[in-house]
Structure 1
Amino acid sequence: MWHVRAEIAPAILLVVDFGGWYKVDSKSSSKNSSRVIQHTQVSLLKDVIVPYTHLLPTLLLSENKDRRTLLYFKGAKHRHRGGLVREKLWDLLGNEPDVIMEEGFPNATGREQSIKGLRTSEFCLHPAGDTPTSCRLFDAIASLCIPVIVSDEVELPFEGIIDYTEISIFVSVSNAMRPKWLTSYLRNISKQQKDEFRRNLARVQPIFEYDTSYSSSRGSTSIDGAVSHIWKKIQQKLPMIQEAIIRDKRKPDGVSIPLRCHCT
């Protein structure tokens, strides 16, 4: 698999995040550096972060009702890599009032439970798991549940087009690990601020839709959804990639200059 990644690295990659690229091949006992995908082979300069497809139905702003729960999370407690933060958060928040931490997934058996949890909660928790992001974030956006993203470093789709500070709360891992800090912080967010977050969430919902039938079913004529925005981001990348290639070509022989990206 690693040799395939090396061969496709110069292409513009569409990835949901960079979490699966920065690691050493676990099957390699020697930990040879050739087994590591270098940071220049996947980069924000040339690659495009794309959204997961949300699994739950979209809630219109006009359909939004009272939300009695402060914070909601549904998922697996025990994960790999970044999942250690999730486990600690679970221990910190599991017994907090107005907080629901549920094991499970929004599949056939947990779908209705997930819909109810997301639509009756003010905020939805998004700690890292096996990867920095997941479809959980986009289920929250579809459900108008304000995402609380616990991460010191995360890449999100369509940044520059979307200002995520208008639709999400970002919390550092160190603050989230402080007992009682997160729930206290969220309780101090005013109703006016929460209403503004939710209006902004409703505004960006169509951007994450891959299905163009979404617009017509919602009475909208716009089809400027996820696919269109992916092409917009690719178009934005092309001049930067061209510049990086030209800069690399003029490098004198024998001179070592760090690559800006693995573009050729």
Structure 2
Amino acid sequence: MVEPNKQTRRNRGFYVVKMRILHRRQSDRAAFCYRYLKWVLWFSLSLYFLSYSLISHHKSPTSLSKTTVSLSKASRALFESNNKTISRQPRPRQGLLNDIRVYVYDLPSKYNTDWLSNERCRNHLFASEVAIHTALMNSDVRTEDPFEADFFFVPVYVSCNFSTVNGFPAIGHARGLVSSAVELISSEYPFWNRSRGSDHVFVASHDFGSCFHTMEDVAIADGVPEILKKSIVLQTFGVKYQHPCQEVENVVIPPYIPPESVRSTLAKSPANGRRDIFAFFRGKMEVHPKNVSGRFYSKRVRTAIWEKYGADRRFYLKRHRFPGYQSEILRSVFCLCPLGWAPWSPRLVESVALGCVPVIIADGIRLPFASAVNWPDISLTVAERDVRKLGRVLEHVAATNLSAIQRNLMDPAVSRALLFNDHMQEGDATWQVLRALSEKLDRSHSHRRPRVSDE
């Protein structure tokens, strides 16, 4: 074997070193190119998302869904085209709600959540507008695809604002707020215009509902706003005779009573406990009713009750507020529910929920959810003209069929149907609203998604 000379070894070492240097240079060049390309890609993506965000924010103050921020006239057509195939796929009907789908508009906060700065907004007798919105947002019936929706819920709070604790709801802003909301959704979305609002749902939970006024004479004069006459209104006001404030497709809903207040009261004493008060009423009773706009408060009914039974030991009548008054309802056999300015009263719900037989004194009242609550079996109705005979009527019922009425009243499904929950439960008040809406699907138009039967 020939040993390589020194020159050959020197040349080989030089070659190895040179190759290492070239390899390192190539590696450094590749690393630099990789870093450069990654930086360019990051910068491009950042610029894209920033531009998209600015353009979307500029075009629309509301969002159509999580993936659709704005519906300009051009993008609206594209959105309809892209969703047409999916939205027309039939769905089977399921259960009593017929697999109903509701799209909830995401309106700017001035239409709803800004009003919640008033803590009473969530808890007073008109708070069903908040409760229904909350329950729908948490419900499985809510869809984020408006093209598969049966109904569109427009969450405008008009009854939140009160002048004082004992005052009227200040709803002078209501008509303007509703009109503004309709203008917004009809200009930004295609759904109002295609049905003229007939599948859109609003809540009017104050005294005279869709007339948007707290005094009946003014409410009648104003009537239902023209813009809502094709829509569906959920309202506490309802009567069996012709009245301008129900000349719109409507569902009568119960006034709002916080379910936690009922649960708290029942936790202290059960509804089937001892009842040592024969007839109970706590609330406004004018000794000399004030004539406001030509009307006497409660049509003088409450005044007549006070005059006739104020000194009667069978009647527990109080004219002043008491925070723990639900404990008094729980001790009572009969709870008087006379009309106030409007026919309905929160006492209807409280008495049923706490097992006290409601005595309804409001001629022609239309009660909520008659398909779920058999009112004749759980309550008494006394004509306004017969209010001075109230003692004899109650004594007769106590001696005859009181036990049967109380037994019917204790059915948990009855009270459940009149209470709103943040998370909808089967059979509760929001569920009953949806059931009533599902029965209106016969009003459906050609744009609604097709349905197939389970049968």
TM-score (norm: length of structure 2): 0.42
Q: Which residue of 82, 85, 89 corresponds with 2:305? A: 89
Structure-to-structure mapping, 1:1-264, within 5 angstroms: 1=172, 4=176, 12-16=201-205, 19=208, 21=211, 23-25=216-218, 35-37=222-224, 42-43=245-246, 46-55=249-258, 56-58=261-263, 59=266, 63-78=271-286, 81-105=297-321, 110-112=322-324, 114-176=325-387, 178=388, 181-190=389-398, 193-203=401-411, 204-211=414-421, 223-239=426-442, 241=443
How far apart, CA to CA, are the structure 1 residues paired with 2:248 and 2:328?
37
- State the 1:96 CA deviation: 1.4
How has the CA–CA distance of structure 1 residues 87 and 98 changed in structure 2, closer, same or farther, with 3 Å as cutoff?
Answer: same
Contact conserved, 1:15 with 1:49, CA < 8 A, in 2?
Answer: no
Could you list the per-position Cα deviations for residues 96-153 of structure 1 after superposition, in whole angstroms to 9, with x for gaps in the alignment? 1210110123xxxx122x1332111110001111221122221111111100001111
- Which stretches in structure 1 are left out of the alignment for 5+ residues? 215-221, 244-264
- State the 1:206 CA deviation: 1.2
How has the CA–CA distance of structure 1 residues 36 and 223 changed in structure 2, closer, same or farther, with 3 Å as cutoff?
Answer: closer
How far apart, CA to CA, are the structure 2 residues paired with 1:13 and 1:171?
32
- State the 1:242 CA deviation: 5.6
How has the CA–CA distance of structure 1 residues 129 and 63 changed in structure 2, closer, same or farther, with 3 Å as cutoff?
Answer: closer
RMSD: 3.5
How has the CA–CA distance of structure 1 residues 44 and 228 changed in structure 2, closer, same or farther, with 3 Å as cutoff?
Answer: farther
How far apart, CA to CA, are the structure 1 residues paired with 2:255 and 2:328?
20
Contact conserved, 2:357 with 2:406, CA < 8 A, in 1?
Answer: yes
Corresponding residue for residue 260 of structure 1: none
TM-score (norm: length of structure 1): 0.69
Contact conserved, 2:224 with 2:248, CA < 8 A, in 1?
Answer: no
State percent identity of aligned pairs. 20
How far apart, CA to CA, are the structure 1 residues paired with 2:397 and 2:367?
23
Q: Secondary structure at the match of 1:188?
A: helix
The structure whose Rg is larger is: 2
My pick for the range that moved more, 148-157 or 196-205, is 196-205
Structure with the larger helix share: 2
How has the CA–CA distance of structure 1 residues 63 and 69 changed in structure 2, closer, same or farther, with 3 Å as cutoff?
Answer: closer
How has the CA–CA distance of structure 1 residues 160 and 5 changed in structure 2, closer, same or farther, with 3 Å as cutoff?
Answer: farther
How has the CA–CA distance of structure 1 residues 164 and 212 changed in structure 2, closer, same or farther, with 3 Å as cutoff?
Answer: same
How has the CA–CA distance of structure 1 residues 4 and 141 changed in structure 2, closer, same or farther, with 3 Å as cutoff?
Answer: same
